[in-house]
Amino acid sequence: MGSLARSESGLPIQPVYDAGTPAGFDANAKLGAPGRFPFTRGVYPSMYTGRPWTMRQYAGFGTAKESNERYHELVGAGTGGLSVAFDLPTQMGYDSDEAIAQGEVGKVGVAIDSIQDMRTLFRGLPLDKVSTSMTINAPASTLLLLYQLVAAEQGVPGDLLTGTIQNDVLKEYIARGTYIFPPKQSLRLISDIFAYCHRELPRWNTISISGYHMAEAGATPAQEIAFTLANAREYVRAALAAGLDVDDFAPRLSFFFVARTTLLEEVAKFRAARRIWARVMREEFGARNPKSQMLRFHTQTAGVQLTAQQPEVNLVRVALQGLGAVLGGTQSLHTNSYDEAIALPTQKAARLALRTQQVIAYETDVTKTVDPFAGSYFMESMTDEIEAAVLELMQAVEDRGGAVAAIEQGFQKSEIERSAYLISQEIDNKERTVVGVNTFVLDEEEPYEPLRVDPQIEFDQRERLAALRRDRDNDALERALDALRTAAQGTENVLPAIREALRGHATVGEVSHALRDVWGVHVPHDTF
Q: How far apart are CA 325 and CA 192, in angstroms?
A: 32
Per-10-residue mean pLDDT, the chain, length 528: 83 87 57 93 96 84 88 84 91 97 92 97 94 95 98 97 96 93 95 96 95 97 98 96 95 96 98 98 98 97 96 97 98 94 86 96 97 96 98 98 94 96 96 95 82 83 96 98 98 97 98 98 70
Q: How far apart are CA 187 and CA 403, in angstroms?
A: 12
Q: How far apart are CA 48 and CA 331, in angstroms?
A: 9
Beta strands at 12-13 and 163-165: parallel, antiparallel or unpaired: unpaired
- From the list 157, 161, 167, the residue with the least C-alpha distance to 130 is 161
| Domains of the chain in sequence order | 51-428 (3.20.20.240)
pLDDT at res. 24: 56
Q: How far apart are CA 59 and CA 62, in angstroms?
A: 10
pTM of the model: 0.90
Torsions phi, psi for 58 (to 5 deg): -75, 115
Residue type, 306: L
Contacts with 277 (C-beta within 8 Å, 6 or more apart), sequence order: 229, 232, 255, 293, 294, 295
Contacts with 75 (C-beta within 8 Å, 6 or more apart), sequence order: 82, 125, 130
Q: How far apart are CA 173 and CA 169, in angstroms?
A: 7
Q: How far apart are CA 31 and CA 33, in angstroms?
A: 6
Residue type, 289: N
Q: How far apart are CA 270 and CA 273, in angstroms?
A: 5
- Write out the DSSP string of 340-407: TTTSBPPHHHHHHHHHHHHHHHHTSSTTSSB-TTTT-HHHHHHHHHHHHHHHHHHHHHHHTTSHHHHH
What is the helix (H) or strand (E) element at residue 298, kind and residue range? strand 297-301
Long-range CB pairs of 238-242 (<8 Å, 24+ gap) are 238/187, 238/188, 238/190, 238/191, 239/190, 239/191, 239/194, 240/285, 241/191, 242/188, 242/191, 242/192, 242/194, 242/195
pLDDT at res. 403: 96
Three-state SS for 29? coil
Three-state SS for 469? helix
Contacts with 524 (C-beta within 8 Å, 6 or more apart), sequence order: 173
CA angle 55, 61, 66 (to 5 degrees): 90
pLDDT at res. 18: 83
Q: How far apart are CA 124 and CA 67, in angstroms?
A: 12
Torsions phi, psi for 210 (to 5 deg): -110, 125
Per-position b or e across 78-115, b if 16+ CB within 10 A of its CB: ebbbbbbbbbbbbbbbbbbbbeebeebbbbebbbbbbb
Q: How far apart are CA 209 and CA 154, in angstroms?
A: 30
What is the helix (H) or strand (E) element at residue 54, kind and residue range? strand 54-59
